[in-house]
Amino acid sequence: MPKDRTNKVSCSNYRCEIEITLELISGKWKAIILWNLGNHEIIRFNEFRRIIPEITQKMLTQQLRSLEEDGLINRKVYNQIPPMVEYSLSEEGKKLMPILEQMDKWGKNYVDNYKKTKQY
Binding site for DNA (CB under 7 A): 27-29, 44-47, 54-59, 61-62, 64-65, 75, 77, 81-85
Q: Which is nearer to DNA, 10 or 79 (CB)?
A: 79
- Are the C-beta atoms of residues 89 and 73 closer than 8 Å to each other? yes
For 22, 23, 49, 103, the CA distances from 17, given in Å and listed in that order, are 8, 10, 32, 17
Binding site partner of 58, from a second copy, DNA, none, Cβ cut-off 5-8 A by kind: DNA
Question: Cβ distance 77 to 87 under 8 Å?
Answer: no
CB of residue 27 to DNA, shortest distance in Å: 4
**40 lies in the binding site for a second copy (CB under 8 A):** yes
Judged by beta carbon distances under 5 to 8 A according to partner kind, the member of DNA, a second copy, none in contact with residue 85 is: DNA
79: Cβ–Cβ under 8 A, 6 or more apart, which residues? none
Minimum distance, C-beta of residue 65 to a second copy, in the bound complex (Å): 15
- Going residue by residue from 41 to 80, which x/- string records binding to a second copy, judged by CB under 8 A? xxxx--x--xxx-----------------xx---------
State the minimum distance, in angstroms, from the CB of residue 100 to a second copy.
6
**What does the alpha-carbon distance between residue 19 and residue 27 come to, in Å, rounded to a whole number?**
13
Q: Which does 82 bind (CB under 5 to 8 A by kind): a second copy, DNA, none?
A: DNA
d(CA 120, CA 5): 36
Q: Does an H or E element contain 28, and which?
A: none
